[in-house]
Structure 1
Amino acid sequence: MKKNLKRIAIVAMVALVIAACKKNQESAETAPQETVKNADKVLQYIKDLGFPASSIVDNGNEFVVEEDILFPKDMQIPAGGAGTKIEQYYTGSIVSATKKLNIRIFVDPSMTSMSSEINSAIAQWNGVPNSTLRFSIVTTAPYDILIKNEALAAPPGFVTCGQAQFPSGGSAGALVRINKTAIASNSFAQRARTICHEFGHCISFRHTNWAAQGESTATNVPGVTGTDALSLMNGGQCNSGATVLSQKDKDATAALY
């Protein structure tokens, strides 16, 4: 009897181990499949926004569009997909009414040498009249945006000075990458301009000069239309563009936030 009980116990343990292994194996197999499924949804979302397939670059865990706009493959697709929202400059989501009041930025050690430039960029967005949008620096988690230094790939003959994510799920775009090597020789104002520009993407702004850049159609903020040579959000100007937010930049920010 004892021998039979022992055999039963051994069989039960083996079955449990096999079941556990199978469960772990299934989980391991399922996770990548879910990631792939979400990546497919993100890719379709980008296309639905009007970006041509030729402008979408698969960069491992993310898609890159227009050289400096990032779409993580695990991002949350905004409710309603890519439907145009009349209160937004861009057809994706903006930062929620509560989170816009304090967008927390964590400065990676790789970017501490440009802390002054980061603070200058923050001061510009925080100083927009009639806007409740506020950025702040935090030294520990939790935070909303990570800003870090990274060597950024670019097509031959081009330089990518920065990249950033758009808002998702009511939160600001979670990542800003700055190519410090590319902007090291620029003036202080131009370095701060690059950082300020990328923060602009984090709160939903597209390139103001999207048409001249040959980029996909962007939606203007109601009441703030037309091109603007003075816009800090003009693309392709990381070492020669405007170093302060233009009046239209401020008007658009006040309209959204």
Structure 2
Amino acid sequence: MKNFKTFAVVFTAATLSVFTSCEKESSEDVIDQSSQEISKDVLNKISELHFNPNGVEKITLNDINGTQKTVYKIEDDILFTENQLMKTGLYGGIQNKQYRTNNTVTATNVIRVVGYNGNNQFGLSATAQTGLRYAVDNYNNENLDIRFELSFGTNWGPNDILVFVQDGFARDDRFPAGIAGFPSNGFPFNRVRINTTASTTQTDQQLEHLLAHEIGHCIGFRHTDWDTRKSCGENNNEGAGNDGLVFIPGTAGPGGDDDSIMNACYPANTDGEWSNLDRVALNFLY
């Protein structure tokens, strides 16, 4: 049985703090995180997709393979390239329930997850590797139509979900603790980044929660409490309108699911396990 300590702190679902919360930026990891100008077309598209256009950042990251990519960071822990953002369409209706993005994984039923364990700044700590094992096991234990295959190493393919450590995507030293993106072309988003602070200071249960959450984004899930972010102690709607968010039947009504892995924030004493309604959502979608 996994053991965990209780702390009087709240961690964001992709966060490490008391509502703020990453290690200091490394010049090796981030080329530019200054306030680059964001075009009106991009902001309009973000609004059309019913993401929150406030606080959007345009950042350029050095990827682990040595390439550079400019992305938009939306709602703290979601990454879009401009091409992916502009090609995303609107479907369906929205309800105050657990929900997914318009894009899901359809091109494969086997998703390879690679935990990077290289002996450099990108390598996951032993605790983070344990948390990743727990998170992947939790998906596979649901007997979904998609299956996750986990390995650890320094080699990966173009459609694998690579999980590694990288700093510099956060608004401060700690927040958020992890970041990912949504599926495209039928394949899952292929990067999950967590920061050094999360990798080295969080417990295996907290990392289990964090990594299950970010993998959830990679296969198409959005925040359960999108309408309030109340799990973060906020009253902030991530999006508005009647398009673009696809309701998952059988999940929570008004008030949401306080125990959902996909809430925007999580308590430090999380056990990292699915809520009952998370299981409903997973099994409905996959």
The question of a shared fold, defined as TM-score above 0.5 by the shorter chain, is answered with: yes
Decide which structure has the larger Cα Rg and report it.
1
Superposed, 1:64-213 pairs within 5 Å as 64-75=73-84, 81-84=89-92, 89-96=99-106, 98-99=107-108, 101-108=109-116, 109=118, 110-111=123-124, 113=126, 114-129=128-143, 131-138=144-151, 139=153, 140-142=155-157, 143-155=159-171, 159-213=175-229
| CA shift for structure 1 position 150 | 0.9
| CA shift for structure 1 position 237 | 2.1
Query: Cα–Cα, structure 1 residues 54 and 246, in superposed 2: closer, same or farther, change >3 Å?
Result: same
Q: Any idea what SS the aligned residue of 1:75 has?
A: helix
| Deviation sequence 1:44-81 (CA, Å, 0-9, x none) | 543321123214221130011111111123437657x1
Residue identity opposite 2:239 in structure 1: S
Q: Distance in 2 between matches of 1:56 and 1:62?
A: 10
Answer 1 or 2: higher relative contact order, Cα 8 Å, separation at least 6. Answer: 2
Residue identity opposite 1:52 in structure 2: N
- Of 51-60 and 233-242, deviating more is 233-242
Please, what is the CA RMSD of the aligned residues? Answer: 2.8
- Of 158-167 and 68-77, deviating more is 68-77
Query: Cα–Cα, structure 1 residues 125 and 152, in superposed 2: closer, same or farther, change >3 Å?
Result: farther
Aligned 8 A contact 2:111 2:161 in 1 = yes
Aligned 8 A contact 2:104 2:187 in 1 = yes
Query: Cα–Cα, structure 1 residues 68 and 126, in superposed 2: closer, same or farther, change >3 Å?
Result: same
Q: Any idea what SS the aligned residue of 1:146 has?
A: strand
Q: Distance in 1 between matches of 2:104 and 2:41?
A: 19
Q: Distance in 1 between matches of 2:138 and 2:99?
A: 19
Segments of 5+ residues of structure 2 without an aligned counterpart are: 1-38, 61-69, 230-235
- Of 135-144 and 53-62, deviating more is 135-144
Aligned 8 A contact 2:205 2:270 in 1 = no
2:26 aligned partner: none
Residue identity opposite 2:251 in structure 1: V
1:32 aligned partner: none
Answer 1 or 2: which has greater helix percent: 1
Superposed, 1:206-221 pairs within 5 Å as 206-213=222-229, 214=236, 215-217=238-240, 218-221=245-248
Q: Distance in 2 between matches of 1:119 and 1:41?
A: 41
2:49 aligned partner: 49
Q: Distance in 2 between matches of 1:45 and 1:72?
A: 12
TM-score, with length taken from structure 1? 0.73
Q: Distance in 1 between matches of 2:124 and 2:199?
A: 12
Aligned 8 A contact 1:231 1:246 in 2 = yes
Q: Distance in 2 between matches of 1:85 and 1:203?
A: 19
How many residues align? The count is 214
Aligned 8 A contact 1:62 1:70 in 2 = yes
Residue identity opposite 1:135 in structure 2: F
Query: Cα–Cα, structure 1 residues 144 and 78, in superposed 2: closer, same or farther, change >3 Å?
Result: farther
| CA shift for structure 1 position 41 | 7.2
Q: Distance in 1 between matches of 2:102 and 2:263?
A: 19
